[in-house]
Structure formats: structure tokens, C-alpha cells
Amino acid sequence: MSQVSITRCTSYEIQEVYRAVKESIDLLGGMDRFVSMGERILLKPNLLAGKPPETAVTTHPEVVRVLIRLVKEAGGVPVVGDSPGLGAAMKVADKCGVGPVCREEGVELVDLKTLVVAENPGGRTFKRLEVAKEALDCDGIINIPKLKTHAQMFLTLGVKNLFGCVPGKLKPQWHLSAGVESSHFAAMLLDLYAFLHPRLTVMDGVVGMEGNGPGAGDPRKIGLVFAGADAVALDTVAATVLGAHPHDLPLLKAAAIRGLNTDINGIEVLGEEISNVKVHGFKFAPLVSLNFADRLPHFLDRRLRRALTSRPSVERAKCTLCNICVQVCPAEVMTKTERIGIDYDRCIRCYCCQEMCPEGAIAPVDGWLKRLIPGF
């Protein structure tokens, strides 16, 4: 039976974070269970964008600091790395506070940018994976996600965080390959997770993000640290704590189809009981089903499908015409003139534009007819 620990953490003061993170790992058997003497261990935080820690866009630097120290105490050699969707990891890490922590703790910070094509014979969707050589060169991975909402995947937790092991410039190709079906993208992420097989996931849920995540939502104090060797089980527990059904998440729905453990009753929860730490009134991503079009017959008229389908929308008052959304669009359907234009007939609804917009000017909206239909 998979084990997931939940510990309370009231602030990002170093003593409090150290206590909570260490306790969460000790409940699972201690760091010695996951790290052996001399092993090079990749610590993989969420470094989505160069935003300060208080925005809750990235894994908090003090959580990274504590895991650096715990790996060292176990005799391992920690290395911190990620591959942001836009910009160099070094610059992003400096802006979000992880870079200074790495320098203070004397550990290497690496940009996961060197492409390696790896055979993945056990994959359900991908038989070959394009991943970062820097990640494969390590003996093991400790995954350090941030608890956040996500426009396409509903929540971004443990499994989704490993997408950062795909070099940044390749991420749009993955989205384009997945097309409009969030279920297909979820299957890709599960193949990546199984291939990388992180030894441990420790999730920063001290202050999470609700609303228009993962880059422009609102910080929400949750006061929890989650840990587990099984990231699918961890995601299941975290979703339940937030008040969601696991199958609201395309990722966990796809995991259940594969026979992975998404049954909350089949997971041993250590530390705090779920009933004692339930989060009330958590604001999820604006839409529960981002791809209502997946459920529509393909013979429907194009205009009717558009009226029933969610789409990214640009709020002109917030938009600064920085052109980042145009640059990151995998389908190349966005244009910049005196405003940002989107060709919705070719848009794949991956919401990369929404995820990377530094101004929070892009959000998912329902098609006009979908807004009139309750329950979708």
C-alpha cells in the first residue's frame, strides 16, 4: 500500500520548514531510505518563472534549502535543477530565491537543457522520450513541486512537476503532439513519470496557489507539506485535501485507467488525518473541464463546437504586448499587432499562453453556449 505523509507547516521560517519537511520524510522511514552515501541526487523544484517567493509561483527557496541539507545529512550530493518554459534556469532561480540558496548551501544549480532521446519500451504513449541529460546523469531524483491550480490539468502537483525534466524548448512540441485532448497529455506525463521514477516527492503546500494558476493565481495559505514515494498517490491525497475528487484531474483519471493507485481508501496516510486538514473554499482553475470539445461529436458544426468549447482569452487592460504568449504558443496561432489575436479554429487549448503570461492577462473562458448549460 502506498504511503503519503501530511505534516503541518505554519510558515517559511527555516526552523519550521526543517521540522515539517524532516517529519514528513521520517514518517516514511527517513531520508536514508531514499538516499545512499555518495549518490548524486537531483532536487527538482518548480521554477516556472522568475517571480518572488511570495507570489507562490515557484517552490519556496526555504523548502529547497531544507531538502539540500537533508540530502547532505544522508551522505548524498544534492544538485538543484529545472528547465523553465521560458528563460534560463539560472536567471529564473535567482529571481525566485532558489539561486541564492544554492550558493549559500554550496550546491550546483543546473539548467536541464541538454536533449537526450531515451528509449522507453514500457511507455503506453511514448516509446521514446526527449528528456534532459542532466536529469539522467544523476543517481536519483527528489521531486519538489508547488501545490497550484492549472488551467489545462486542473491542478499541478507531483507528477506534473516532472515535466520540468523536458528541456524548455521542447515543451511546446509535447503540447502540440498531445493536441486538444488533455487526456492524451496526461498519458504522456504518466509515461515520463514512470520513466524518471523519482525516489521521493515532497510538495510545498505551505502557501499554494488558487484561481488562475499556475502562473497568475492567488497565494492561498494551506499550511501543509506532503511527502511520498508514489507521486500518483500523493496527488490523490492532495486533491482530496483540497476538496476535489481525484478524477476531476485528467492526470489522475488517466492514472486510474492504467491501474495506478488513485483510490483514497487504498492509500495509507501518515501524520495528519485528511479530515483534520481539509481546505474549505479552495478556488480551483476557472474551468473544471477545459476540453469540453473532447466530449462532442466531431460531426457538429464548427461554430457550434466553438460555442461549446473553452478557450484562452486576453484581457486587453492587463496585456502589455510583451509577445511572450506568441513566442510560447506551440500551435503558432497567436499574433501580435495592436492587440494579441488568437486563431481559435487552430488553437489546441494547451493554455501555454495563460501559464507563461507575466501579467496574468490571459485566462480560460467558456464558449457562450457552454455558459448556458449547467453541469459542464
Per-residue model confidence as pLDDT tens digits over 211-265? 999 999 999 999 999 999 999 999 999 999 999 999 889 999 999 999 999 999 9
Q: Look at residues 8, 12, 9, 5 and name the one whose alpha carbon lies nearest to residue 30.
A: 5
Q: Look at residues 359, 16, 330 and name the one whose alpha carbon lies nearest to residue 177.
A: 330
Q: For residue 374, what pLDDT is reported?
A: 54
Q: For residue 373, what pLDDT is reported?
A: 60
Q: For residue 290, what pLDDT is reported?
A: 43
Contact present, 165 and 115 (Cβ < 8 Å): no
**What would the pLDDT profile of 184-224 be if each residue is shown by its tens digit?**
889 999 999 999 999 999 999 999 999 999 999 999 999 99
Please give the share of the chain, as a percent, with pLDDT higher than 90. 74
Confidence label for 288 from pLDDT (cuts 50, 70 and 90): very low
Section 56-64 average pLDDT: 99
Contact present, 310 and 366 (Cβ < 8 Å): yes
Q: For residue 86, what pLDDT is reported?
A: 74
Measure CA 348 to chain center: 19
pLDDT at residue 375 above 70?
no
Q: For residue 367, what pLDDT is reported?
A: 67
pTM of the model: 0.89
Secondary structure, 3-state, the chain: CEEEEEEECCCCCHHHHHHHHHHHHHCCCCHHHCCCCCCEEEEEECCCCCCCHHHCCCCCHHHHHHHHHHHHHCCCEEEEEECCCCCCHHHHHHHHCHHHHHHHHCCEEEECCCEEEEECCCCCCCCEEEEEHHHHCCCEEEEECEEEEECCCEEECHHHHHHHHCCHHHHHHHHHHHCCCHHHHHHHHHHHHHHHCCCEEEEEEEEEEECCCCCCCEEEEEEEEEEECCHHHHHHHHHHHCCCCHHHCHHHHHHHHCCCCCCHHHEEEEECCHHHHCCCCCCCCCCCCCCHHHHCCCCCCHHHHHHCCCEEEECCCCCCCCCHHHHHCCCCCEEECCCEEECCCCCCCCCHHHHHCCCCCEEEECCHHHHCCCCC
CATH number 3.40.50.11710 is the correct assignment for the domain at 2-276: no
> Residue 136: how many CA atoms within 13 Å on its side-chain side?
16
Cα 55 from Cα 57, distance rounded (Å) = 5
pLDDT at residue 97 above 80?
yes
ω into 52 cis (within 30 of 0) = no
The CATH number of the structural domain formed by 293-372 is 3.30.70.20
**What would the pLDDT profile of 15-25 be if each residue is shown by its tens digit?**
999 999 999 99
Section 321-338 average pLDDT: 92
Q: For residue 43, what pLDDT is reported?
A: 99
Section 370-375 average pLDDT: 58
349 vs 279, residue with greater confidence: 279
Hey, where are the domains in the chain? 2-276, 293-372
**What would the pLDDT profile of 123-147 be if each residue is shown by its tens digit?**
988 889 999 999 999 999 999 999 9
Question: Please, what is the average pLDDT of the chain?
Answer: 91
Pull the grid cell for residue 335.
499574433
pLDDT at residue 291 above 80?
no
